[in-house]
Structure 1
Amino acid sequence: MASFASKRLAKELSKLNNDTHKLPPGIELVSTETFEEWLVDIRVLDDNPLYKGEMYRLKFRFSASYPIEPPEVVFCKTADRPIPIHPHIYSNGIICLDLLGQQGWSPVQNVESVCMSIQSMLTGNSKNERPPGDEEFVRASRALSVVEAESSGTRDGRRSEILMPEYTLAFPTFALRSVLLRVIVWRTPGNW
């Protein structure tokens, strides 16, 4: 990871672990063992019946370009941490939020502000539904991850997860086709 990104994350972590600065209620750091990936638990604190009593886990992945580029942020499903049902959260944990895309991101944002934005997004929700085209999007994103993994020689599919949130706001099916075409073009020998 680039030294600037590491310095910025070290500064954020130091601030979050400082006794004088407490994380907002309902937000808890779970794992910050590396500067590439952090796990954070969030809870909706109001009486919203959709999320009452639930705790959710967010996975942050930071690129070497952080904070110039946004982190990849997805919900992770564990035995005791479901993926919340929300019109902007796909069942595979991908979040459609302008803040997490190139257009809405600003380097002044940080892990704490992202968590607070997601917490607020959940608090204001009154619809117990997934985004339109959820099943098709999840199926296509799995296929895209496999194509990516095979072309890069890995099986983590990380790049596809980073690319997709930018393109999913309005047209998930069309967006996946355009991303898939970009991946195939970018992954030709010599462009790895």
Structure 2
Amino acid sequence: MASGGTQQQGLSRIATGRLHKELTEWQRNPPHGFVYHPSDNLQRWTIDVHGAAGTLYAGEVFQLQVDFPCNYPLEAPQVIFSRNPPIHPHIYSNGHICLDILYDSWSPAMTVSAVCLSILSMLSSCKDK
């Protein structure tokens, strides 16, 4: 394969179908507080996270980078805050998120929307930065 192409060439047929389905659902019914940035690369999504009103992060906007493995949804996506990660006990300065559903508790039934809502819930429940 030629270099410089999109990374989605490595996605399985199952992963590609699942991601198209999730993206269609997202566009039809986007989760509140999130904005997907369209891209030609199905294997990497960029999503803005808007801090929920009444929380420590109200009015702040953070950016998630979601990278899907070739065998998604059997394997969890890698989800990180790609720039200016929020100050939070479960978020490392490099943007990596300590959230069980992204690792040991991942289930193929999970969706990107569900992961995003879990991240927003984690941010919203924080009492101290």
TM-score bucket of the superposed structures, by smaller chain: 0.7 to 0.9
Q: Distance in 1 between matches of 2:69 and 2:17?
A: 13
Q: Distance in 2 between matches of 1:97 and 1:104?
A: 9
Q: Say whether 1:93 aligns with 2:95.
A: yes
Higher fraction of helix: 1
TM-score by length of 2: 0.88
Q: Distance in 2 between matches of 1:123 and 1:46?
A: 9
Detail structure 1 runs of 4+ shifted over 2 Å in the superposition.
none
Q: Distance in 2 between matches of 1:108 and 1:89?
A: 24
From the CA coordinates, give the structure whose radius of gyration is larger: 1
Which residue of the partner structure matches residue 2 of structure 1?
12
1:158-173 counterparts in 2 under 5 A?
none
In structure 2, give the amino acid aligned to 1:42. V
TM-score by length of 1: 0.60
The gaps in structure 1 that reach 5 residues or longer are: 129-192
Q: CA deviation at 1:33?
A: 2.1
Q: Say whether 1:69 aligns with 2:75.
A: yes
For each residue in 1:45-76, what CA deviation from the matched residue of structure 2 results, as whole angstroms up to 9, or x when unmatched?
Answer: 2312x312101100000011100000000001
In structure 1, give the amino acid aligned to 2:66. F
Choose the corresponding residue for 1:35, options 1, 17, 42. Answer: 42
Q: Say whether 1:51 aligns with 2:52.
A: no
In structure 1, give the amino acid aligned to 2:98. C
Determine helix, strand or coil for the equivalent of 2:62: strand
Which residue of the partner structure matches residue 185 of structure 1?
none
Q: Distance in 2 between matches of 1:64 and 1:105?
A: 16
> Alignment RMSD, CA only?
1.1
For each residue in 1:142-187, what CA deviation from the matched residue of structure 2 results, as whole angstroms up to 9, or x when unmatched?
Answer: xxxxxxxxxxxxxxxxxxxxxxxxxxxxxxxxxxxxxxxxxxxxxx
Q: Distance in 1 between matches of 2:23 and 2:58?
A: 28
Higher fraction of strand: 2
Q: Say whether 1:116 aligns with 2:122.
A: no
- For CA contacts below 8 A with separation 6 or more, give which structure has more relative contact order: 2
In structure 1, give the amino acid aligned to 2:21. K
